[in-house]
Amino acid sequence: AQTVTQSQPEMSVQEAETVTLSCTYDTSESNYYLFWYKQPPSRQMILVIRQEAYKQQNATENRFSVNFQKAAKSFSLKISDSQLGDTAMYFCAFTPRRAGGTSYGKLTFGQGTILTVHP
Amino acid sequence: EPEVTQTPSHQVTQMGQEVILRCVPISNHLYFYWYRQILGQKVEFLVSFYNNEISEKSEIFDDQFSVERPDGSNFTLKIRSTKLEDSAMYFCASSGRTGGLEKLFFGSGTQLSVL
């Protein structure tokens, strides 16, 4: 079984500053995907960024980047130039990648980190 | 970008009643999922559905739950006899290949309140 742990229940940051959200996971799988999802007050689940475990290069999407440390089973999210619209709950999620299987969509989520961006 | 549509956005029901939550996945997707999120807690996987049958389900998905794809476009979650603890946000999701990459799309959720 996989577990995902987000040890920071809440974080805050000033607008335009940088913040890093932590995530660790535990799995015996060798091939998998990791994700960060954003959930604003509307409660919609919005994909922020994804990382494929077999790629050593850290994923980047505009102001969002990850620090993926496979050996340490760590997957942190860095938000640069924070904006007020980044205020949301952020979930880290994991899914094993099995060839031809449906496990791609079976995500295990962490507990979430509430991020507040202050003006 | 394509969307997964869920209706209703909010459903109120009495304990013991049956509810059906409806979802329209993205049209060319083949894999469908239901997740739930109790307020203040993490999102939990309920069930995955492929080729007109359940491919995986969690411990939460007991005999009170069922899923169906009745007409090739809708994907429904039925709770036969609701309990207070079924109150949660229920998310439908579907996955398929977009631009060569497989991607999971979530709907905006149905908030179920059991009184």
Domain count across chain B: 1
Interval B8-25 mean pLDDT: 96
Domain count across chain A: 1
Residue of B97 and B33 predicted with greater confidence: B33
- Please write the tens of the pLDDT for every residue from A62-73: 999 999 999 999
B69 lies in a domain? yes
Contacts of A91 in chain B (CB under 8 A): 42-43
B31 lies in a domain? yes
Q: In terms of CA atoms, which chain A residue is nearest residue B57?
A: A106
Beta bridge partners of B11: B112
B29 lies in a domain? yes
Give me the CATH number covering residue A56. 2.60.40.10
Chain A contact for B104 (CB, 8 A cutoff):
yes
Give me the CATH number covering residue B48. 2.60.40.10
- Please write the tens of the pLDDT for every residue from A35-59: 999 999 888 889 999 998 888 899 9
B110 lies in a domain? no
- Please write the tens of the pLDDT for every residue from B48-96: 998 889 988 999 999 999 999 988 789 999 999 999 999 999 999 998 7
Domain range enclosing A27: 3-99+107-118
Contacts of A111 in chain B (CB under 8 A): 41-42
Q: Is B48 exposed, middle or buried (0-12, 13-18, 19+ CB in 10 A)?
A: buried
Tell me how far the alpha carbon of residue B19 is from its chain's centroid.
12
**Tokens standing for A111?**
């507990």
Residue type, B41: Q
